[in-house]
Structure 1
Amino acid sequence: MTAMKRYLLAWVCLQLPMMVHAGQPTPTSAAAPLSDAERYARRCQSQSPHRTVKPQGTMLWGTRRDWDVEKVTDERTGVLVSADLAPLRQADAQVKSLSLEGGRLVAAGKGVVGTVLQGTASDGKPVEVAICGAEPSPEDPAMVWYRIEAWNALAQEWENPCVALANVPDPRALAVSGTWNANGAHQKARGKLTFACENGAISKCIQWGYKPWASRDGQSMADLHQACTRMARADYCGNGRSHTHENTTIDMYDRLGVIARTTESSAQWDLSRASFEAAWAPDGATCLSRTRDGRALETVLKECPNRFRAGTALDLGKGDRCTLRRTDVNPESALLRNQSYEASKGTSAQGEGP
C-alpha cells in the first residue's frame, strides 16, 4: 500500500465517528411546545422505562436530578419534589378536588387516575404530574402505590420522573404529606404533598415500617420516619449530603420497637462483619463511630463545623459506642440506631447511591 493510500485510509477512519455523530440529535435540544389539549392527550400512554446510565447518588425523593441527562447536577436536586392538591390542572369532570388520607389520595366518588396536578421541581420551576395508575399495597391496602408521569418540557413528553434501578426498573411512588427541602428537612405544608419514588429514602423508610401518618403505642412515627431518611442516606450533618453507596447493607433498630436489632446471622446479614455506625435524630446523626462509605471522620467535622466534637467515647449500650457526638443534643435521645459493614480498603470516598 502506497503512502498516499495509507494516508487516505487513516483520514476516512478519523472522519467516520464525526460523520455518525453529526447525524445524532443533541440531548439538550428542545422540542416544539404543545398546546394544553395535545399535552394532556399524551399523558399515561404506555412507554418503555426510561433509564439513565449516570450515577444518581443517594436519593431522597427518588426522582431524576434533571431532564437533561448530560447535565452535571447536585444530589440535592430533582425534577419533581412536591405537588399541590389544588387546583387540579386536569381531571375527570366529576373530580373536583383531592385529599390525602394517610397513605392514599381520595377523590369523592371517583378514582384519581388521569388527574393532573401542579408540581414543582427543586429549582422552583413548575412541572405538571399525571397520575397514571393506582395500586393498593398488598401489605397495607390503606397505602397506595401510584404510577406517575411528569411533563418533560425539554423533550415535550410525559415521562416517569422516578429513577429506575436494576432491581426496580419501573418505579412507582407513594403520596406523602408535606415537602422535603434540599437539606433533607421535612416541612408541613397545607395542600402540598410529595410523590416519594420507590428508589428514594422517603419511600424506603415507609416500606421498612416507618409510616409518618401512623402511630405506635400512642406516639406519632413522623419523627422516626424523618430520622430514618437521614439514616438511609447517611446524612450525618443534616444538610442533605449523603455518605454511602447504592445498595449498602445496613441493620437498623429503634426506640419504639418497630424494627429490632438483628441478633442472628443470615444470608443477608453477617453479624461478624457488622459494627455500630451512628445514632439518629430527625435532623441528622446525634453521634457516630465511623462513616458508612469509609471516608475519614475528619471530613464530617469539616463538612459541618461546630456540630460534632471528638473526645471520650460514649457507650450507648449493647456495644454501641460513639466516637463523635453532637454538641447541642444528648446522643442518648436518638430515635434510631444502625449498624453496617466497615467499608473495604480502596473504596471510593464519594457515595453513589442509597
Structure 2
Amino acid sequence: MNAMKKYLFAWLCLQLPVLAHAEPARSASVAASVSKAERHARRCQSQSLHRTVKPQGTMLWGTRRDWDTEKVANERSSVLVSASLTPLLLAEGQSKTLKLEGGHLVAPSADKGVVGTVLQGTSSDGKPVEVAICGAEPSAEDPGMVWYRIEAWNAVAQEWENPCVALARVPDPRALAVGGVWDESGAHHPASGRFTFACENGAITKCIGWGYKPWASRDGHSLASLHQACTRMARADYCGNGRSHTHEDTPLDIYDQLGVLTRTTESSAGWELSRASFEAAWAADGATCLARTRDGRAMETILQECPNRFQTGAALELGEGDRCTVRRKDVNPAASLLRNHSYGPSKAAVPQEKNL
C-alpha cells in the first residue's frame, strides 16, 4: 500500500506542471466577450502597432483580409468594405446623420465634427463590424480631402485595431472616405447612405493620390470612370474579376485620355525608360488589350482565367509605339480610358498562384 501511495504521489507531481500550463493556453485562445458600453468606451485608445505577416499582394481596399492572422484568406476578402453614414454612437454635439461631400465627411450642425463617432461597417462576407473615427487630418495637398484615423472592432481579439494594412513606407496608415462601395470583383457601385474607408496602401486611395479623384471632374468630364479604370490598372486586374497579377511597389507610368497624367519621356531616379515597355490599355471593368503580363506569367493563363473575354490575332497599333497582341472581343481598345508602361518582370520572378 505504501508503495502504491508513493507511486500516485509521484504521478500527481509530474502532472501538475502540465495542468498549470494547459489552463492559460486554453484561456488565451478565447477572448472574453466585452459589453457594448465597454467596447465603445475603449475606442480610439493608443495601442501598439499591429502588422500582418501574411503576403498581401496589391490590395484594393488596403485593409486586412481577415482578423485571424493564421488564416490564409483570399485577396478579394476584407474585414471592412463599407460603412454607414448613420452613426451608432455620436460624438458630442453631433447630428444624427453624416454626409459625404467630395473627399470628406460632414456632420450637419455639429460642434465637434466627426471624431469619436462609431459607424456600422460591413466586411466582405456581409458581417457587421463597428468602425470608430479616431482622428481627422485635412490633406495638405487638397483642403477638401480629409485623412481619417480609424479603428474597427476585432471580434476575435475583442479589441479595437486599425484595419488598414501597414507597410514599411506607410507604417501607420490612414483612410479616405470615398463614395459608394466596391464588391469582391473590384467593381464600384453607388450606394445610398454608404461609403468606403479606403486605406492608404490600397489601390482606391493610390489612384486618388495619382490625381483620379472620383468626385472631381476635368474639362467637364467626371473622373469617376478614370478612377475605376485606375484601380484595375494598379492591381493588374486584367479580367476585371478582382484578381491581381502584380507585386507590391512595381513602378508604373500611367497616361490617360484627359491628360490628368501624361506619358513620361525622360528617365529619373524612380523611372528608367530603357527598362519600361507598354503593358496594357484599360477600361473601368479591366484591360481592353494587353502586350504582356506585369508579373511574367504566360498570357495563356489570363486567357484561361477569363475565357471568351479576349482574342488573339494580328497586333493592334494604338499609337505612340503602343501595340497590343491580345484584345477584348467586346470593346474597342482604342477607346480605352488609360494606358500604362511598366518594367518587364525579372527572370527570377515566379508568379505565386496560391496567393491570388
Alignment TM-score, normalising by the size of structure 1: 0.91
What's the CA shift for 1:35? Answer: 1.0
What's the CA shift for 1:23? Answer: 9.1
What's the CA shift for 1:350? Answer: 2.6
Task: Summarize the Cα distance change of 1:271–1:77 in structure 2 as closer, same or farther, 3 Å threshold.
Answer: same
* Counterpart AA for 1:345: K
Query: Using the alignment, how far apart are the partners of 2:197 and 2:287 within structure 1?
Result: 25
Aligned residue in 2 for 1:191: 193
What's the CA shift for 1:75? Answer: 0.2
Aligned residue in 2 for 1:276: 278
**Contact 1:63 1:163 (C-alpha < 8 Å) held by counterparts:** yes
Aligned residue in 2 for 1:60: 60
**Contact 1:27 1:69 (C-alpha < 8 Å) held by counterparts:** no
Task: Summarize the Cα distance change of 1:258–1:25 in structure 2 as closer, same or farther, 3 Å threshold.
Answer: farther
Query: Using the alignment, how far apart are the partners of 1:286 and 1:206 within structure 2?
Result: 22
**Contact 2:303 2:310 (C-alpha < 8 Å) held by counterparts:** yes
* Counterpart AA for 1:65: R
What pairs up with 1:152-231 in 2 under 5 angstroms? Answer: 152-231=154-233
> Secondary structure of 1:205's match?
helix
> Secondary structure of 1:85's match?
strand
Aligned residue in 2 for 1:32: 32
**Contact 1:164 1:170 (C-alpha < 8 Å) held by counterparts:** yes
Unaligned runs of at least 5 residues, structure 1? 1-17
Larger radius of gyration: 2
Report runs of 4+ in structure 1 exceeding 3 Å deviation. 21-28, 351-354
Task: Summarize the Cα distance change of 1:48–1:132 in structure 2 as closer, same or farther, 3 Å threshold.
Answer: same
**Contact 2:104 2:146 (C-alpha < 8 Å) held by counterparts:** yes
Query: Using the alignment, how far apart are the partners of 2:133 and 2:350 within structure 1?
Result: 39
Query: Using the alignment, how far apart are the partners of 1:80 and 1:167 within structure 2?
Result: 22
> Secondary structure of 2:206's match?
helix
Query: Using the alignment, how far apart are the partners of 1:345 and 1:27 within structure 2?
Result: 48
Q: Deviations over 1:240-274 (max 9, x none)?
A: 00000011111100000000100000110000110
Query: Using the alignment, how far apart are the partners of 2:263 and 2:23 within structure 1?
Result: 57
Query: Using the alignment, how far apart are the partners of 1:27 and 1:77 within structure 2?
Result: 29
Aligned residue in 1 for 2:256: 254
Aligned residue in 1 for 2:15: none
Q: Deviations over 1:259-292 (max 9, x none)?
A: 0100000110000110000000000000000000
What's the CA shift for 1:24? Answer: 8.2
Unaligned runs of at least 5 residues, structure 2? 1-17
* Counterpart AA for 2:91: D
Query: Are 1:121 and 2:123 counterparts?
Result: yes
Match 2:243 to one of 241, 244, 262: 241
What's the CA shift for 1:325? Answer: 0.1
**Contact 1:293 1:350 (C-alpha < 8 Å) held by counterparts:** no
| Identical columns (%) | 73
> Secondary structure of 1:294's match?
coil
Query: Using the alignment, how far apart are the partners of 2:159 and 2:69 within structure 1?
Result: 15
Match 1:326 to one of 325, 328, 332: 328
Aligned residue in 2 for 1:287: 289
Query: Using the alignment, how far apart are the partners of 2:307 and 2:149 within structure 1?
Result: 41
**Contact 1:242 1:351 (C-alpha < 8 Å) held by counterparts:** no
> Secondary structure of 1:142's match?
coil
